[in-house]
Amino acid sequence: MMKTLATLHDRDRNRIFRHRKKDGSIFDAEITSFEFVSGGRRARLVIAVDVTERRINEERLRDNEERYRLLFERNLAGVFRSTLDGRILEVNDSLARIFGYEREELLAQTSYSLYFSREDRQRVMTRLREQRTLSNVELRMRKRDGSPVWVLENMTLLETAEGGNIEGTIIDISERKAAQEQVEYQAYHDVLTGLPNRLLFRDRISVALAHARRARRTVAIMFLDLDHFKLVNDTLGHTVGDGLLQAAAERLVSCVRSEDTVARMGGDEFTILVSDIADTRSAATVAQKVLESISRPIEVDGHELFVTTSIGIAIFPDDGTDAETLLKNADRAMYRAKELGRNNFQFATQVIVEGKAARLSLERSLHHAFDRKEFVVHYQPMIEVGTRRVVGAEALIRWLSPEFGLMAPDEFIPVAEETGLILPIGEWVLRTACAQMKTWHRAGHKELHVAVNLSARQFQQRDLAMMIERILEDTKLPASALDIEITESTAMHNAKSSLEILTGLKQMGVRISIDDFGTGYSSLSYLKEFPIDTVKIDQSFVRDLSQGSNDGAIVSAVISMARALKLHVVAEGVETEEQLAILRREHCETIQGFLCSRPLPAEEFEAVLAARPSS
């Protein structure tokens, strides 16, 4: 202690020295010494204060400040402090680089210079004042050269005597945003031509129809394809075919206004939305322009190609008031144009008028068909991809009409739905299919199951479960060998009711499949709730399945989702080895389509069973 006192002078009081206690431990003491005279003698007052705790806290504070400084300076994210009015107090080098500045240059700017308008920053500040903290806010900000940069910003408002400071971090997410925009673009555009795809086209129709209703204007929907395109593809190859589609797409776009839409629906099918027109004459003018443009020679890879197009036109509101009806009528009109020799356009209104007389005749014949036993059931094999063996059959009704010939379901089922005949016809199909499958089980094919599609009206009939149970009991077919198929849109029409019906069927042991998956509007949350066993990928996605196509991405996503939900997957409409190869690579388990077999009468199906054993 005397040595410590010897070093003290009046001018440097309150110095800190390190000392040892009696127990040997070291402590820091702050020594203050005062010299004074008392009773004629010089004396000194020494005060010692243990400041060990204070020294430790001060060292921790200095360490924390140093760590903060290192974190601030070396952080890969941009870090900043600013005032509410936009004065930049502090930034690190990372933040300066994000905006293209040197650090000192950025400190001379205001926060407003990093936004494209003062209103942009003011909106953010309003939210910050209300919430005090903002997390993961995506903002489009401005770099030094005026170009945009997408950032992810986190901000906290700290109260100060001056009104408040802002501390925050900024991360450059421009690359991620560009990748996200590319994914979104591909989801709504055709890969080959860059045109909008069917999803975006339907959305554009909805917007155009809403505007037309308000403005009392007309909208035209055109459906067209290239005449004899398959001949070009088959003779000159897919590369030339793709080049032809790209050239045709460019010519179609040149025929319409910037506010109109040209889309590729798949294959060689295109659609055109001509919005905000006064009458049908405007649509006819555009259609004639398209015919003339497409008919001019097109050169692809040294090949001079001559093609034409057939166009069907549906007009809002005369031919339909929603996207689905307008597209369907435009499609029908296109086929009418083909029947009339191709390279022309037809309006849907005339086709509908001509079709009414035929419909009345069809309806009359349909009423007698059931009594005359004119219906037959054909069976399309379901093939296991890995083994190529038959694992099941889809039962498909056909009408062998003396007047109209052999008719597929889509030609007469809609009429049966409207007239109520679908209920007795549907029950007959179900009973026939179950009885036939039981016959095949007795013949040794016990692993087979039969899939029967229910229409929307059948699915809603009150005694559906009782009817199915009665048929299974009468035919002695195990419930597990019956697969009831309903379309995605039917299931979602009344999701709560559908869940009750499907649960009842599932409790009986019947399999449940969602048919035409991907074409409706199902919610994944509901899909997880429905007691389904199988999803069937709609043939519209399989038809244009190729490397890198939009439909390829959709099919891959459906299969992955189904696998995650432990559902079986069946791909419909498989017609080529290329489609099969892609489905096999994506681990699709089962397929059906013309590549394996068309729908067959029962006796011909038995021949397939002999060639492709079921077990």
Which residue among 178, 206, 226 closes a domain?
178
Determine the pLDDT at residue 12.
Answer: 47
Return left, alpha or beta for 117; rule: phi > 0 is left, psi -120 to 50 is alpha, else beta: beta
In a domain, 382, yes or no: yes
Q: Which pLDDT score, from 0 to 100, does residue 290 have?
A: 96
- Nearest Cα neighbor of 218 from 260, 290, 280 is 280
Q: Which structural domain, as residue segments, surrounds residue 527?
A: 370-611
Question: CA 493 to CA 596: how far, in whole Å?
Answer: 33
Please check the confidence at residue 407 and state whether its pLDDT lies above 90. no
Lowest mean pLDDT among 3-7, 134-138, 238-242, 442-446: 3-7
Rounded Cα distance, 82 and 487, in Å: 58
- Counting residues of the chain whose pLDDT is more than 70, the rounded percentage is 90
Cβ-proximal residues to 315 (8 Å cutoff; 6+ apart), any chain:
218, 219, 220, 221, 280, 283, 347, 348, 349
184 within a domain of the structure (yes/no): no
pLDDT tens readout for residues 471-491: 999 999 999 999 999 987 788
Residue 127 pLDDT > 80, yes or no?
A: yes
Residue 231 counted as domain residue: yes
What confidence score (pLDDT) does residue 32 get?
82
- Determine which of 12-21, 115-124, 581-590 has the lowest per-residue pLDDT on average: 12-21
CATH number of 195's domain: 3.30.70.270
163 plus 197 within the same structural domain: no
Measuring CA to CA, which residue among 534, 498, 528 is closest to residue 516? Answer: 534
In this prediction, residues 274-283 reach a mean pLDDT of 88
Residue 463 placed within a domain: yes
% of the chain with per-residue pLDDT over 90:
46
In whole angstroms, give the CA distance from residue 189 to residue 208.
19
Tell me, what CATH number does 123's domain have?
A: 3.30.450.20
Q: Is the pLDDT of residue 292 over 80?
A: yes
In a domain, 70, yes or no: no
Q: Is residue 69 part of a domain?
A: no
In the numeric block, the tokens 């860059």 are attached to 194
Q: 171 and 260: one domain? A: no
Alpha helices of 476-601 — where are they, by DSSP H?
488-493, 495-508, 524-529, 539-543, 550-564, 577-585
> Residue 473 CB: number of other CB atoms within 10 A?
10
Of 239, 243, 246, give the one whose Cα is nearest residue 300.
243
Same domain, 30 and 85: no
Please state the φ and ψ torsions of residue 513, each to the nearest 5 degrees.
-125, 145
Domain identity same for 444 and 352: no
559 and 419 housed in the same domain? yes
Structural domain count of the chain: 4
CA pair distance 593, 380, nearest whole angstrom: 8
Using alpha carbons only, what angle is made at residue 470 by residues 468 and 472, rounded to the nearest 5 degrees?
Answer: 70
Strands (E), 180-279: 218-226, 261-266, 269-277
**Domain final residue pick, 178, 204, 232:** 178
- Give me the pLDDT at residue 11, please: 45
One domain, residues 42 and 91 = no
Identify whether residues 123 and 224 lie together within a single domain. Answer: no
| pTM given for the model | 0.49
> Which is more confidently placed, 518 or 462?
462
Residues 343 and 489 in one domain: no
